[in-house]
Amino acid sequence: MSFRTIEWRDNKVIMIDQTRLPVEEVYREYADYSGVAEAIRGMVVRGAPAIGIAAAMGVALGAREIIADTFESFFRQLENVCDHLARTRPTAVNLVWGLERMKRVALAHRELDLKSIREILKAEAISIEQEDLKICKEIGRHGAALIKEGATILTHCNAGGLATAGYGTALGVIRAAHEAGKNIKVIADETRPWLQGARLTAWELMKDSIPVTLISDNMAGWLMKNGQIDCCVVGADRIAANGDTANKIGTYTVAVLAKENKIPFYVAAPISTLDLKLSSGDQIPIEERAAEEVTRVQGVVIAPEGVKVRNPAFDVTPARYIAGIITEKGVVRGDYERELKTLVGQ
Ligand code: MRU
C-alpha cells in the first residue's frame, strides 16, 4: 500500500487524517488516549476494523499514562480508559471488540509487574493491526471467487484500506479479484453526507490503478436497471445473529435495489464485526451525527439556516437481501442464524 491507515511508532499512534483526504495526505500523531478518542469521534480514523485497531492502540497509550501501585488500581483506571474510548462511536462493534480484547490481555497477565503489562498491551495492539491485514487478505481470497471476469461491482461508503489496516474488506474482495487478473471495474457511490465513496474509495482505488467510476448515490438504481452493475459488495459495522447487517447509511437502499434488479448483494466483514449476542438488527444502536454534515458540503452551506435535519449515520439491511457474508473463514449463505454460529464454533 502506498499509505498507512494507522500505525504504532515510537510510543505514538500515527493516523492518516481521513477528514483531509483527498485534498491533502497528512498524518496526525497521538501520544495520549484522549487524543485517540477524539480522532475516532472526529473521524480522522473511521471504518469498523480501523476503529477497533485505533481503540486498542488507545488502550495501550492509556496504559502508559496510568499511575498505580497495584494491579487492581491499574485495571480500574484501564477500565475508565476503555469506557472513555467506548463512548466515541456506538455502531461499529469492532470498537468494543478491541477494548474487550485489551482488557482480557491485561487480566491474563495480572501477576506481572505493570511495566511488563504495558509492554504486553502495546504488543497486543500492534498484533491486532497486523492480524487485520491478514484477515482482509483472506476475506479478499474468499470473495474474489464470487466475482466474475469482467464484472462491474458497485460499492458503498469506504470499506477499503483506509477502513482497515490497509487492504480492506469490500475493497479487499475487489483488490483480490483485480490481483487475480480479472478485468473488473468499480462503481463507487459518493456516500452522502460524509462522502466516504467520493473522497476515500475513489482515492484509494485510483492510487492502486483499479478502474473506478464515481456516481452520486441516487444514480445506483438507474445503472442497475440498465444492466450496468453485475454485483454489489459492501462492508459492515455490526452483523446480528440472524445476518441483519448495519453499514453506512444508504446501504439498505442499495440492497433493496439490487434485489429488485436480481443483482447479488454481498457483505464482506471480519468475524470481529459479528455481534451474535444481538438476535436481530433491530437491536443495533444507530449513531446520529451532527446536522452540519447534512446542511453543508465540505464547509459550504447548502440548506436554509435552521432547517430541521436527520442524520442517522448507519442503516440496517435485513439478511434476506444479502446473497452472502464474506468472512476470513469463508462465505456464509442461506440460514445465517445457523451458519454464523457454526462459523464461530458456537
Ligand atoms: O462512518 P464510517 O465512515 O466509520 O462508516 C464506515 C462504514 O460504514 C464501512 O462500510 C464499515 O465500517 C466497514 S469498513 C471495512
Per-position pLDDT tens, the chain of length 346: 789 999 999 999 999 999 999 999 999 999 999 999 999 999 999 999 999 999 999 999 999 999 999 999 999 999 999 999 999 999 999 999 999 999 999 999 999 999 999 999 999 999 999 999 999 999 999 999 999 999 999 999 999 999 999 999 999 999 999 999 999 999 999 999 999 999 999 999 999 999 999 999 999 999 999 999 999 999 999 999 999 999 999 999 999 999 999 999 999 999 999 999 999 999 999 999 999 999 999 899 999 999 999 999 999 999 999 999 999 999 999 999 999 999 999 8
Euclidean distance between CA atoms 247 and 265, whole angstroms: 13
Euclidean distance between CA atoms 68 and 77, whole angstroms: 9
Residues near 165 by Cβ (< 8 Å), separated by ≥ 6? 5, 6, 49, 50, 53, 129, 130, 132, 133, 136
Ligand 1: which atom is nearest the Cα of residue 94? 12
pLDDT of residue 346: 83
User: In angstroms, what is the span from residue 127 Cα to ligand 1's centroid?
Assistant: 21
49 lines ligand 1 (CB under 6 A): yes
Ligand 1: which atom is nearest the Cα of residue 287? 1
Is the entire prediction scored with pTM above 0.85? yes
Q: Which of 6, 19, 91, 158 to mutate to test the pocket of ligand 1 (most atoms within 8 A of CB)?
A: 158
User: In angstroms, what is the span from residue 160 Cα to ligand 1's centroid?
Assistant: 9
User: In angstroms, what is the span from residue 66 Cα to ligand 1's centroid?
Assistant: 31
57 lines ligand 1 (CB under 6 A): no
272 lines ligand 1 (CB under 6 A): no
Ligand 1: which atom is nearest the Cα of residue 51? 4
Whether residue 337 contacts residue 320, with contact meaning beta carbons closer than 8 Å, is answered with no
CA distance readout (Å), 225 to 265, 313, 340: 15, 27, 32
156 lines ligand 1 (CB under 6 A): no
Euclidean distance between CA atoms 31 and 295, whole angstroms: 34
48 lines ligand 1 (CB under 6 A): yes
94 lines ligand 1 (CB under 6 A): no
Euclidean distance between CA atoms 33 and 40, whole angstroms: 11
What are the φ/ψ torsions at residue 322 (nearest 5 degrees)? -100, 120
What is the Cα 209 distance to its own chain's centre? Answer: 22
pLDDT of residue 2: 86
| Residue nearest ligand 1's atom 6 by CA | 47
Ligand 1: which atom is nearest the Cα of residue 248? 8
User: In angstroms, what is the span from residue 259 Cα to ligand 1's centroid?
Assistant: 22
| Residue nearest ligand 1's atom 8 by CA | 248
164 lines ligand 1 (CB under 6 A): yes
pLDDT of residue 235: 98
User: In angstroms, what is the span from residue 171 Cα to ligand 1's centroid?
Assistant: 12
Question: H helices within 202-319, ranges in order?
Answer: 202-207, 220-225, 251-260, 292-295
Q: Which residues are catalytic?
A: 237
Q: Determine if residue 250 is left, alpha or beta; phi over 0 gives left, psi from -120 to 50 gives alpha, anything else beta.
A: left
237 lines ligand 1 (CB under 6 A): yes
Euclidean distance between CA atoms 58 and 40, whole angstroms: 10
